[in-house]
Structure 1
Amino acid sequence: MGIPENIAWQDPTERREEVRVPIQREGTVRVADDGDSLPILISNLHREGCRIDGSVELSVNQTVMIGIPGIGLREARVKWKNDGAYGACFLRPLPAGSVGSALADNVHALAGAPSPVSHAQVRIMPIASRGESVEEKWSPRARFALFVAMTFVGGTMMVSLADLLLS
């Protein structure tokens, strides 16, 4: 079974089914037979693999563990290398929704634990879909406080209105 002729590819040289998403997040790499985690930059990510950059020395066909913020550790095989950049293919594709999890700014260091990477160097840009503007969500605590305040104000207004109507 061949590739259908009517498929429009993003790039004529690109034949991956999954779109690569630029994430520019710091992660870690651990060589399978070594216990040390080294900091890397994950340049792009898709369900089947990623591109990593860093001052690590890896070999083509080497098996590594890649730590991805929002996803966790994934076993991968180095497929190519070029001047400090590496392409890695996951041994098992990421579950659906994982790439979106890696984009979210939901990973924070534990209190008192040393962080192997500096979060100050990573800048995450929120993604807007269909030309919509991106707005920050309120924290659950702020939303609850607003709900309580609006309930109180609404209840006070109802009592006042009832007072006016009954007098």
Structure 2
Amino acid sequence: MNLESITLVRHGMTEWASSGRHTSVTDVELTAEGRKDAQALRDPLMAMGPFDGVYSSPKLRALRTALLAGYAVPELSPGLREWGYGRYEGLTTAEIRGRIPTWNIFRCGAPGGESLDAVSARCDELLREWDEKGHRHVLCFAHGDILRALATRWLGLELRFGEHLHLDPGSISRLG
């Protein structure tokens, strides 16, 4: 495998993220705090570079984070869209657990959304694609659960392991 490192950046804070609402297909903007946090990513990311592949989810919150962090032309990658929450879109974990006390996206998926197998396959395809392009150091701007899933697959683990990972809005994680 050519791919030596993947740097994961979770988009900055949004109103939905601050209230704990699951957001996949709903396109929400960064809050003022989220924009400030995204701008603060510039220097740490520049110090980690250069990257030979820079990708962003097509969702506004991820793309805006990339732009504010100094990456004016990331390649939009539909594979980096957030895990499809289906009927859980807009609900908080507490609301979902009120119905299913042991619910966790990495164990249960989401009704009407993406299955664990589908998300795992999507992550595997991204890793394969980046490797086939000859990338060695990839930077991607995306969302909490898809980045946790991508990290899990990079490690060669089952998707369930993702429940043990945590990514705050506006955070940087590097796998290598």
TM-score, structure 2 length as denominator?
Answer: 0.21
Greater share of residues in helix: 2
Find the structure with the greater CA-based Rg: 1
Q: Which has the higher contact order (CA 8 A, sep 6+)?
A: 2
Greater share of residues in strand: 1
